Structure 1
Amino acid sequence: MKITHMSLFVDDQEKALAFYTDVLGFVKKTEIPMGDVKWLTVVSPEAPDGTELVLEPSNHPAVAPFREALIEDGIPFTSFAVEDVTAEHARLTALGVHFTQPPTEMGPVTTAVLDDTCGNLIQIASMG
């Protein structure tokens, strides 16, 4: 068994696609129209055949309270591995990305948390 897709609820699929590709550097993998929404996925350019991140519409009634609770508590919904959190933080900050947690060492891991502008907090992390 392996993970092929992971869903991330987003307020606006087009805005999310722009942020995840133009800012974070992911690549669009799939875009299939499904009425008012799309099956829309992005992948890491480092693993184009790896796990796909589904930019899922957030219109289900359970999504808003769930995401609001996570944001209020400062809990990121998912985490992305980067080579160097401090360097990635500097690159993304220069692009206007808002961080809710600056690079922070936690034992062997360094993390930072960003606002994806689409309703989620996202953690970036690196070892060492």
Structure 2
Amino acid sequence: MGKAVTRFHVGDKAAVGNILASCGKCAACLAGRGNWCESYPVLTYGSVDPKDGLPTRGGFADEYVLPDKFTYHLPEGLDPAGVAPLMCAGTTTYVPLKRWGAGPGKTVGVVGMGGLGTSR
């Protein structure tokens, strides 16, 4: 763990979403929206890791090195395998639902390819 990391301690359980890094300098990043990074967000799968130039391998990776702002605490008692879908598809679907005021009494549809339909 790097010296600048203050949100985590050795032994903490952590979860990683689908974004590992962003440029940190563009308008989107400065507004706290690294997922809309104008240069790139580095994704957990299918991106090029800016640190070593190797392709990111998603769940097939042995380890990840990333800024702590892209890392989340895994609450005690939650099964990591049960949380994993929430870190990618769950976040992808949650953000627009929250932004557009989805809630009790409203009907929404989630349309997507891949794992988006797994978040319920």
Q: What is the TM-score of this pair, normalised by structure 2?
A: 0.22
Q: What is the TM-score of this pair, normalised by structure 1?
A: 0.21
Structure (1/2) with the larger strand percentage: 1
Larger-Rg structure: 2
Structure (1/2) with the larger helix percentage: 2
